[in-house]
Structure formats: structure tokens, C-alpha cells
A = this chain, B = another copy of it.
């Protein structure tokens, strides 16, 4: 790799001067600048980011910690983060925490050792204290860690209310809920939204709620039990799309047609929801926008541009009507 010294020698100037034109800082004469630029060009010189990082005590890298990139929600998020980051001059280190507290702390340590400038994290277990201790900007995405921390989330409760009300409007009389993993904040919020709408119905009690683990398998199980407990259920609001798909499968297993016998609505709007048959009606989160906003927010935090906007954003969700309802 060719270094700043080589460029300096080639251009017949000092490394300091090369550095100045590189960062255009300080005074540099017209001709000198030309010479240096020519040298850079001809030698195809690219500054060593590691050396820069060491001096500046910060890298051009950000960390992205997600529970599991295989969970269909996260690839789109990751894509948005990476797209935005590269555009702003940053790289993204991908970390899969499995929602495990120890792994998360481990990644935090590692990222700090790598001098990453900032971190975007989707976690249920991380505490505000852990984050503050890091001393670098962190944006929490999809989940609220603490009201004081920069955050991007969506209207979970409102979305859940929309979903439930929509099922009612479609004529559903008994609406069950497949709830997400209760250690996840947004699962609670979505459940609250559901209860907000049907909590006062005379038929309602807690047995209309079954808990899944935000994955397909657990949802099939949960739905099977739910429908056996309450064969009269004609509508299901699942707390995410994967579980909604599981619910559809379970309904089929019991010989019910979707949407004729039972209407099913999901939450998230992952691309998978368009690939199923029937296509899934869902509450769509602006996933890409979340990643983009989070990254922009993080970068302005990192670059200390006084964050002109609020750094706690609650994004809106949209009902996407498809075939499962």
C-alpha cells in the first residue's frame, strides 16, 4: 500500500502539506495543491483509514447490533443502514446478538475497541446505564430502551388498534391475538392496542390471547391451542408477520379457510408478507425509513452537528389490505 510519504516524495513536498490538501485544512498554495493532487492521482493513493482512526480516536465505522439478521425484519433494516452509512462515508459492522445480554455487552466492548463512532442497536435487554457508559452515540431502533436515549420506533399501540378495528370492520365477532415474546417491549405495546379495542367486549377474556415467540413454529402451536380453546374465533391479529403466517398454517391444519372462515392480519410489512398465499394483510412499518432515519440521526450525533430535530422519533404505520382478511 502506498502511503502519504510516497505521495509527499513524489510531489516534492512534505507529508504535512499532503495531509493539508487531503483534508483541505490550513493554507496550501495553488501550485502546490495541483502538484499534490496530481501525485495522489497518479499514484492512486488512498489514505489509510486505520492510521486516521488511531489519531482521531474514531473510525469511519458504525456498529449495527440486531438480534438475528435471519429474522426477516432485519435485512431490510440492515440494508437501509448500510446504504445510508456508505453514502455518509461510513462502514457498518454487523453483529447478531440473539437478544442475549452477554453477547450484546461483548459486542459493545468489541465495537468500542474498534473505535466505532456510533452504534445502532435493537435490543430488549440493554440498559441505559450500559449505553451511557460507552460514551459514544447510540441510537435505539424498533425498541425503546429509555426515554432519554435517541430512538426510532413506530406507533405500535396505534398500529395494533388499527389492526383490531379493521378486523371488526370486516365483520369479525371474536378476535384473538397471537402475542409476541413478552420480554420484548413492542409485543406488550401491540397487545395493549389490541386490548384497548376489544377489552370491553362482553366475550373477551385473557384466554383469547396466546403467546408465541415471534417465530412461525411457536405461532402455529399457539394458534392451534387458541382455536381449539375458542372455535368461534373468526379473526386473529398476530403481533408480527411471521406469526401471522404461522397462524394461517394452523388455520389450514384445522380445516379453516382464510379469509372466508377466519381473517388474519399481521404486523411489520416484511417482504415475505407479499409472497404468501393468500397474501397477508398487515400493519406496515416503514422499515427502510427507520434504518435510514436512525443512521442519519446517529451520524449527526457523531458529527456533533447540533441535532436540529428531535432525536426521539415515533414513525407512523400503514394498514396494507391484502388477501388474508
Interface residues of chain A, those whose CB is within 8 Å of chain B, are 1, 46-51, 53-54, 57, 59, 61, 64, 68-70, 72, 74-76, 78-79, 82-83, 86, 91-96, 109-110, 112-115, 216, 242, 245, 248-249, 252, 271-272, 274-277
Contacts and interface: CB of A to CB of B under 8 A. Distances in A.
Nearest to A273: B275
Given A61-B93, A75-B75, A76-B70, A113 B275 contact: no
Contacts of A72: 72, 75
Contact of A75 (B46, B53, B69, B216): B69
B47 A113 contact: yes
Nearest to A93: B91
Contact of A69 (B82, B112, B248): B82
A70 B75 contact: yes
Contacts of A245: 275
A47 B114 CA distance: 10
15 contacts: A46-B109, A48-B115, A49-B115, A50-B53, A50-B114, A51-B54, A54-B54, A61-B114, A68-B79, A72-B72, A74-B75, A79-B96, A93-B93, A216-B274, A252-B277
A274 B219 CA distance: 14
Nearest to A71: B75
B113 A46 contact: yes
Contacts of A94: 64, 78, 82, 92-94
B275 A277 contact: no
A82 B125 CA distance: 21
Nearest to A91: B93
A114 B96 contact: no
B275 A216 contact: yes
The 3 closest A-B pairs by CB, nearest first: A94-B94, A49-B113, A50-B53
B79 A69 contact: yes
A216 to B, nearest CB: 6
A40 B126 CA distance: 25
Which one of A48, A248, A252 has the greatest number of beta carbons of chain B within 10 Å? A48
A72 to B, nearest CB: 8
A79 B75 contact: no
A74 B252 CA distance: 30
A90 to B, nearest CB: 10
Given A46-B112, A114-B50, A249 B271 contact: no
B112 A1 contact: yes
Given A46-B109, A113-B47, A277-B248, A82 B53 contact: no
Contacts of A93: 61, 91-94
A113 B60 CA distance: 11
Which one of A50, A86, A115, A276 has the greatest number of beta carbons of chain B within 10 Å? A50
Given A50-B59, A69-B69, 14 more contacts: A49-B110, A49-B113, A50-B53, A51-B54, A64-B94, A69-B78, A74-B75, A83-B96, A91-B93, A248-B277, A249-B277, A252-B277, A275-B275, A276-B277
A79 B95 CA distance: 9
